[in-house]
Amino acid sequence: MASRIVLNRISFHGKGAVAEIAHEVKGLFLKKAFVCTDPDLIKYGVTQKVTDVLEKAGLAYHIFSDMKANPTIENVQKGIAAFKESGADYIISVGGGSAIDTGKAIGIIINNPEFADVRSLEGVAPTKNKAVFTIAVPTTAGTAAEVTINYVITDTEKSRKFVCVDAHDIPDIAIVDPDMMASMPKNLTAATGMDALTHAIEGYITKGAWEMTDMMHLRAIELIARHLRSAVQNEPEGREGMALAQYIAGMGFSNVGLGIVHAMAHPLGAVYDTPHGVANAILLPSLMKYNAAYTGEKYRNIAVAMGVPGAGNEKTSLKKARLGAVAAVEQLAVDVGIPQNLKGIVMEKDLDFLAESAFADACRPGNPRDTSVAEIKELYRALI
């Protein structure tokens, strides 16, 4: 079967990229933007960096921000009603994965109203029409939601996060401007950066990985190892490196899938509202160990990309190179202040539900090692 790669129609990268929005919108004769963002981004003046560009160019817009992090079905449904009332003809999503994913779900349902319940979009959604024209402007350097064909919505009634996979939802234009990320506090920079590393590692070892996505993931791992610590210190070079790295990881994993780190992180977001990047970062090292024997030479390449001395030397055993890769990931997580376990997050009484939920997650089948509910339960337990 042929391998498929879906990417944005156009993407802009680098400082000042937000200014390109005005030019693109005018060229396409779009009339009114539905700016999909979250309340904190309005409070901290991040959304304003985009609305200033629109105002300066005399372009009309309507702001929608009635959402929370780990967005819910209700957030999406309110957004659909707001879009219909707004008279907008396109979406500009400004935010982290939460705002961009909400924008994706709104844009899909507006053009495919038979999915208005939102839940029926879970998994590979058989939509017929492309989403409303969307420009996505990430403000975190992690999810790469601006270039992926996925979005993740929380079903509060069932305490589940569900993943929707649909090439119709990829934003048409991505604006990846490190200035939009400069206001991220240290802990958010660290968590979202570790999410990007998780995408790159899981995407690299997933069952569907192939030459072209391997190229993207290895480059992303190298850039993250080089730039995440500096981004956490809010240094411009680190911010630029992470903006690019997370996007490159997104170009890859969006097209091949992930694995059990994400499958096990999603229930933590749904049940305890754990930030997505924190959940991934805590789980990643121990699940790398769990998967190690099913990854061929790939951990050696990860170790090399992360700068582990001697890992690329053929005299270094595969076992040692694998341990080196895991240790490098663990060290990076420690250096950027990520907690080391799930103590105080996961409760013993929830383990059965969490394990069943992770097993049912759309990311689980991509894991290189086949797993089971019982094994997933033990993997959670080992961290509490």
Ligand X SMILES: NC(=O)c1ccc[n+]([C@@H]2O[C@H](COP(=O)([O-])OP(=O)(O)OC[C@H]3O[C@@H](n4cnc5c(N)ncnc54)[C@H](O)[C@@H]3O)[C@@H](O)[C@H]2O)c1
Rounded to 10°, the helix 318-335/186-205 angle is 160
Please identify, using beta-carbon distances, which residue of 280 and 301 lies nearer to ligand X. 280
- Short-list 105, 86, 82, 88, CA closest to 30: 88
Whole-number minimum distance, CB 299 to Fe ion, in Å?
A: 20
Chain centroid to Cα 370, Å, comes to: 23
Q: Which of residues 320-359 bind ligand X (CB under 6 A)?
A: none
- The yes or no reply on residue 276 touching ligand X (CB under 6 A) is yes
What, of ligand X, Fe ion, none, does residue 169 touch, CB below 5 to 8 Å by kind? none
List 18, 21, 46, 261, residue binding ligand X (CB under 6 A)? 46
Residues in binding contact with ligand X, number by CB under 6 A: 31
- The yes or no reply on residue 184 touching ligand X (CB under 6 A) is yes
Closest residue to ligand X, Cβ-based? 97
Please identify, using beta-carbon distances, which residue of 179 and 195 lies nearer to Fe ion. 195
Whole-number minimum distance, CB 55 to Fe ion, in Å?
A: 33
DSSP string, 87-149: T-SEEEEEESHHHHHHHHHHHHHHH-GGGTTSGGGSEE----SPPSPEEEEESSSS--TTT-S
Closest residue to Fe ion, Cβ-based? 195
DSSP 368: S
Are 159 and 270 in contact by the 8 Å Cβ rule? The answer is yes
Whole-number minimum distance, CB 70 to ligand X, in Å?
A: 5
Point out which residues pair with 32 in neighbouring strands: 60
- The yes or no reply on residue 181 touching ligand X (CB under 6 A) is yes
Q: Which of residues 240-269 bind ligand X (CB under 6 A)?
A: 269
Please identify, using beta-carbon distances, which residue of 50 and 321 lies nearer to ligand X. 50
Extract the tokens encoding 52. Answer: 């200033």
Please identify, using beta-carbon distances, which residue of 179 and 202 lies nearer to Fe ion. 202
Whole-number minimum distance, CB 95 to ligand X, in Å?
A: 5
Give CA–CA dist 138/177, Å, rounded: 8
Assign 306 to helix, strand or coil. Answer: coil
- The yes or no reply on residue 361 touching Fe ion (CB under 5 A) is no
- The yes or no reply on residue 75 touching ligand X (CB under 6 A) is no
Kindly list the strands in the beta sheet with 123-124, ordered across the sheet, starting from the edge strand earlier in the chain.
123-124, 160-165, 150-155
Are 200 and 363 in contact by the 8 Å Cβ rule? The answer is no
Q: Which of residues 176-215 bind Fe ion (CB under 5 A)?
A: 195
- Binding to ligand X by CB under 6 A, coded x per residue (else -) over 137-166, reads --xx-xx-x--x-xxx--------------
Please identify, using beta-carbon distances, which residue of 246 and 295 lies nearer to Fe ion. 246
- Binding to ligand X by CB under 6 A, coded x per residue (else -) over 89-108, reads ------xxxxx-x-------
Kindly list the strands in the beta sheet with 90-95, ordered across the sheet, starting from the edge strand earlier in the chain.
10-13, 173-176, 134-138, 90-95, 32-36, 60-64
Q: CA distances (Å), 157 to each of 43, 116, 296, in order?
A: 29, 17, 41
- The yes or no reply on residue 48 touching ligand X (CB under 6 A) is no
Which residues contact Fe ion by CB under 5 A? 195
Which residues contact ligand X by CB under 6 A? 38, 40-41, 44, 46, 69-70, 95-99, 101, 139-140, 142-143, 145, 148, 150-152, 181, 183-184, 188, 192, 195, 269, 276-277
